Amino acid sequence: MIIVGSDHAGYALKEEVKKYLESMKYEYIDVGTYSLDSVDYPDIAKKLSMKVLEDPANKGILLCGTGIGVSMTANRFKGIRAALCVYPYMATMARKHNNANVLCLGGRLVSPALANEIVEVFLNEKFEGGRHIKRTEKMDTLEP
């Protein structure tokens, strides 16, 4: 399942991404926010991350104004590999090498057309595995 979520600053782009997902017949769950009223991005990033972690097959699409705050927050959750992407190539590599399971987008940075392109790549590229497995696994072993 695809989980989508945003704060108020990502709300408009989230609605565009949802339209795109619907047009491509992807099913998704929207964990909010559901209006332009101001909310705190860590709350949404937490909600989405917890939902993504329920099933290894899940993927998240998470938005705030820049994508920075939600990516910082989501990456605090063990098992979440959130990638902030502003080019389709970043999404390609985030999937192939980093096995990203959450895509972060900046609602104030990318156009709907570019966001849709990035989303499409993120949803379709496969993790290459191989030498990248031990590297992604190492992320989950890090303790301060």
Active site residues: 64, 97
What minimum distance in Å lies between the beta carbon of 109 and ligand RB5? 9
Shorter beta-carbon distance to ligand RB5: residue 13 or 99: 13
Shorter beta-carbon distance to ligand RB5: residue 85 or 99: 85
Taking CB atoms, the residue at the shortest distance from ligand RB5 is 69
Q: Which residues of this chain interact with ligand RB5, rule CB under 6 A?
A: 7, 9, 41, 64-66, 68-69
CA–CA distance, 113 with 95 (Å, rounded to integer): 20
Residue in 125, 61, 58 with CA at minimum distance from that of residue 90: 125
Shorter beta-carbon distance to ligand RB5: residue 32 or 120: 32
What minimum distance in Å lies between the beta carbon of 90 and ligand RB5? 17
